[in-house]
C-alpha cells in the first residue's frame, strides 16, 4: 500500500524497479476518488493526462511518477482551469506552465490536478462559494485552514504524499498546523514565481509544498529552488543539497519564545500548553529557550500591513481584468473579496509606497532585535481549527467573518512574509477534541538549513507521520491493491 509512504519512499520503489511510475498514479487516483467526495480537496482533476505522463516518464528521474497536486492559486498549468476560487475565473484555462510547475514536471512528478483554495487566497479557511468547503480529514466538521487548505487535506488524508502551496501571510503554515503536516515557508526568492510574476504582493509570496515528512520538504527544494531568468531578486545560495540538511544535528540553538498574540493577548490554553511542551523538549535536546515578546510589531506596522493587503486584492483583480478583458459582474466576487477590493482601490500609489517603506524599516529593526538568537517560537494558530462556516462571510456584514478569522490567525505569521525570512510550522500536539496543533518557528533570511535541521531533530524525537486520520486510513485500505 502506497498511501502513507512519503515522496522519497515512493520514488525509491520506482528506482528499485518494484513499482512503475504509472502504478503510483493509479493508486493515488483511486484514493482521491474514494476520499474526495467527503473532503472536497481536489476541484480540478487531470487524471488521464497524469496517467499518460506517468507511462512516458523516465523511471530514473528523481520523483518518477510520484503524484502531486497543485494549489489553484497563482499557479498555472497548461490546459488546466485556473479559477483561484472565484466565479470571475470559472471558465479560464491556462496556456503554458509556471516555472515552478515546469520544474516539478522535469523532476518526474505526475500532476493529478488542482486543489481548493479560498477566493484569491484572501481567507484563512478554504470555503469558496464556487467549489464549496474543504473538510479537515481529522474532523470533517472543521476547517483545514487556508489558503492552501485543499492541498493540506489531500496530503493529510493520504491522497498524495506532497502537494503544492504558496504563502503570502501564512497560507502554507496555517493549514499545515490545522492538518498535522510540516509546512515550510522558504526565504523570499528561493522558488521562482515566473514567468507571469516577477514577485507578488511586494515580495510577500513564497512558493513551496505541504508534506508529511521533513525530508520531502527539503527534497522538493532541491528540484524547485533557484533563480529563474529575469527574476527581480533571488535568495542567498543554499547548501549543496537541501535534503542533506535533514541529517546533521542543528547544534545548540538560542530560541526565543512568545505565547502572546500580536495584540499582546494570552493565547488559547490548548495552544499555549503545546508550546510549553515544545519548550520542554527543546530544552531536553540541549537548546537555550527564553521568553521574548515581539514588541517590534506595533500599530504603525499593522496599518501598513492592512494597506498592503488591500492593495494586493486590488492588484489581483486588476491583473485578471487585464487577462480576461472584462470586469467582474456583481455576483462574481464574494462579499469579503469585494470588501477588500473596495478598500484596496482607496489606497493611493504614494500610500502603498509609504506602507512598503514602513515594512522595510520594521525588517531592519527586527534584524537588529533578533541578532542575539537563532529562531523565534510561538503557536502557529491562536486556537484549534474552528468549525466550517464560522469564518465564511455573508452578504449582510462580511466584517463579522473578517473579525472571526483575525482571532484564528492572531499570531503574526505574516512577519516572515514582510521580512522575507524562512519559517515553518511543525506538527506537535492535539486539542482535547483531537484536532491538530502546530508550533511555529520564525527563522532568518536564508535560514532554511537551520529550520530543516531542527525540524528533523524534532521529527526524530517526537515522530508525527505515523498518526493518521481514521476515515482516511479506512479509505486507503479500501483502495489498496490486492
Catalytically active residues, by annotation:
71, 147, 171
Handedness of CA 270, 162, 233, 422 (dihedral sign): positive
Letter string b/e over residues 223-257, b meaning 16 or more CB atoms within 10 A of that residue's CB: bbbbbbeebeebbeebeeebbebbeeebeebebbb
For residue 383, give the nearest of 243, 265, 229 by alpha carbon. 265
Residue 323, C-beta contacts closer than 8 angstroms, at least 6 positions apart: 92
Q: At what angle do helices 349-369 and 299-324 cross, to 10 degrees?
A: 130
Centre a 10 Å sphere on the Cβ of residue 406 and count the other Cβ atoms it contains.
15
Handedness of CA 288, 277, 136, 157 (dihedral sign): positive
Residue 293, C-beta contacts closer than 8 angstroms, at least 6 positions apart: 258, 260, 264
CA atoms within 13 A on the CB side of 339: 17
Q: Do the strands 135-136 and 67-71 form a parallel or antiparallel pair, or are they unpaired?
A: unpaired
Specify the 3-state DSSP secondary structure of 194. coil
Amino acid at each position: 500500500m502506497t498511501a502513507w509512504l512519503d515522496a522519497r519512499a515512493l520514488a525509491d520503489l520506482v528506482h528499485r524497479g518494484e513499482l512503475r511510475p504509472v502504478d503510483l498514479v493509479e493508486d493515488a487516483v483511486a484514493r482521491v476518488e474514494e476520499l474526495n467526495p467527503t473532503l472536497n480537496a481536489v476541484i480540478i482533476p487531470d487524471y488521464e493526462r497524469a496517467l499518460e505522463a506517468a507511462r512516458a516518464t523516465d523511471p530514473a528521474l528523481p520523483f518518477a511518477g510520484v503524484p502531486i497536486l497543485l494549489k489553484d492559486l497563482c499557479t498555472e498549468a497548461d490546459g488546466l482551469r485556473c479559477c483561484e476560487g472565484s466565479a470571475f475565473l470559472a471558465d479560464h484555462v491556462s496556456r503554458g506552465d509556471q516555472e515552478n510547475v515546469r520544474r516539478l514536471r522535469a523532476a518526474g512528478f505526475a500532476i493529478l490536478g488542482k486543489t481548493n483554495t479560498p477566493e484569491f487566497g484572501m481567507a484563512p479557511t478554504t470555503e469558496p462559494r464556487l467549489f464549496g468547503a474543504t473538510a479537515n480529514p481529522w474532523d470533517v466538521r472543521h476547517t483545514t485552514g487556508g489558503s492552501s487548505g485543499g492541498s493540506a487535506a489531500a496530503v493529510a488524508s493520504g491522497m498524495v504524499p506532497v502537494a503544492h502551496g504558496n504563502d503570502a501571510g501564512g497560507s502554507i503554515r496555517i493549514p499545515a498546523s490545522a492538518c498535522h503536516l510540516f509546512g515550510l515557508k522558504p526565504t523570499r526568492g528561493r522558488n521562482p514565481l515566473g514567468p507571469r510574476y516577477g514577485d507578488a504582493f511586494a515580495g510577500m509570496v513564497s512558493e513551496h509544498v505541504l508534506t508529511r515528512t521533513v525530508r520531502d520538504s527539503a527534497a522538493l527544494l532541491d528540484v524547485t529552488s533557484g533563480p529563474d531568468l529575469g527574476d527581480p531578486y533571488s535568495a542567498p545560495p543554499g547548501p549543496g543539497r537541501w535534503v542533506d540538511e535533514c541529517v546533521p544535528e542543528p547544534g545548540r540553538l538560542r530560541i526565543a519564545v512568545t505565547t502572546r498574540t500580536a495584540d499582546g493577548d494570552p493565547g488559547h490554553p490548548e495552544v499555549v500548553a503545546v508550546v510549553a511542551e515544545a519548550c520542554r523538549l527543546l530544552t531536553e535536546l540541549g537548546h537555550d529557550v527564553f521568553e521574548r515578546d515581539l514588541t517590534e510589531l506595533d500599530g504603525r506596522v499593522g496599518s501598513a500591513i492592512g494597506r498592503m493587503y488591500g492593495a494586493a486584492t486590488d492588484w489581483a483583480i486588476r491583473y485578471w481584468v487585464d487577462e480576461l478583458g472584462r470586469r467582474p459582474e456583481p455576483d462574481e466576487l464574494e462579499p469579503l473579496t469585494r470588501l477588500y477590493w473596495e478598500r484596496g482601490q482607496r489606497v493611493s500609489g504614494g500610500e502603498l509606497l509609504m506602507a512598503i517603506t514602513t515594512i522595510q524599516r520594521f525588517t531592519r529593526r527586527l534584524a537588529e532585535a533578533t541578532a542575539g538568537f537563532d529562531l523565534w517560537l510561538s503557536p502557529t494558530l491562536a486556537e484549534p481549527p474552528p468549525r466550517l462556516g464560522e469564518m465564511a462571510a455573508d452578504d449582510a456584514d462580511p466584517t463579522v467573518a473578517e473579525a472571526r478569522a483575525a482571532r484564528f490567525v492572531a499570531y503574526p505569521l505574516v512577519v516572515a512574509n514582510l521580512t522575507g525570512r524562512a519559517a515553518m510550522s511543525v506538527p506537535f500536539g492535539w486539542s482535547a477534541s483531537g484536532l491538530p496543533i502546530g508550533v511555529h518557528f520564525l527563522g532568518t533570511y536564508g535560514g532554511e538549513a537551520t529550520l530543516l535541521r531542527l525540524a528533523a531533530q524534532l521529527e526524530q524525537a517526537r515522530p508525527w507521520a505515523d498518526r493518521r486520520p481514521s476515515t482516511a486510513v479506512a479509505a486507503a485500505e479500501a483502495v489498496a491493491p490486492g
